[in-house]
Amino acid sequence: MTKFNLMIAAALVSVAALPVQAGPAKSIAVETGDLNLASVEGIAALNSRIAVAVKAACSDSDVRNLSDTQDLRRCRLESMGKAQKWAEGLIARRSALASAN
């Protein structure tokens, strides 16, 4: 079973003069062992799982507060970028293993 743990260190700043307050990191497991990443469907399923994990990991914001909304958007963008890089590496490794066999 292959998993990817999406670590989110929520660093929230409400006023520029205040020091950055780092919240607890969240780890969301994304199961990949059951996916055929050589198929379009498998990659689509992986992307869907990543999107769900990112949304869950970056959900502790009060969206009525503009600063929290911006932090939520930043968290999701940064987390999605990191997760997509990881996914690209995973797909490449699995592809290399499949072509070696």
Tens-digit pLDDT profile for the chain (101 aa)?
A: 455 555 433 322 222 222 333 345 577 889 999 999 999 999 999 999 999 999 888 877 666 777 778 888 888 899 999 999 999 999 999 888 888 87
pLDDT tens-digit map of 1-15: 455 555 433 322 222
CA distance linking residue 95 with residue 100, whole number of Å: 9
CA distance linking residue 90 with residue 97, whole number of Å: 11
| Residue in this structure with the two tokens 């670590």, named with its chain if needed | 7
Query: Where in the chain are the domains?
Result: 3-100
Please tell me the pTM assigned to this model.
0.70
